[in-house]
Amino acid sequence: MDILYDREEKSRLRAFGAISEDGTRADFVVVQSELFLGKAVVVNLLTGRAAVLGRDDLQEEEEWAVPLGIPLSEAPTWRETLERLLPEA
């Protein structure tokens, strides 16, 4: 095995749960680290799916909603929430 990296650092973790107006629930964990070039790892705890995202990635809904297991029909609602959770670039 060739180890590509082994880095330990303090990271910022934020847990956030919400229910949209149509009754869809989401529980997100957002991990901010220097490891991801200013982006954060977003984990949808209900689907077990994750994506590395920055605010600029939220413009293309298919790029983040599908990997997180969020239906595209609900993506605009959750985009506003994720914009508040993600760090500014």
Write out pLDDT tens, residues 16-42: 999 888 788 889 999 998 888 889 999
> In the prediction, which pLDDT does 34 show?
84
53 confidence band (pLDDT: 50, 70, 90): very high
Find the mean pLDDT for residues 58-75.
93
Residues 41, 31 contacting (CB under 8 angstroms): yes
| Nearest-angstrom CA–CA distance, 16 and 26 | 8
Residues 64, 85 contacting (CB under 8 angstroms): no
Query: Token pair of 78, please?
Result: 């959750």
> In the prediction, which pLDDT does 89 show?
65
Torsion of CA 45, 51, 56, 62, to 10 degrees: -90
Exposure string of 18-30, with b = 16+ CB inside 10 Å and e = fewer, is eeeeeeeebebbb
> In the prediction, which pLDDT does 14 show?
95
Which SS3 state, helix, strand or coil, does residue 85 take? helix
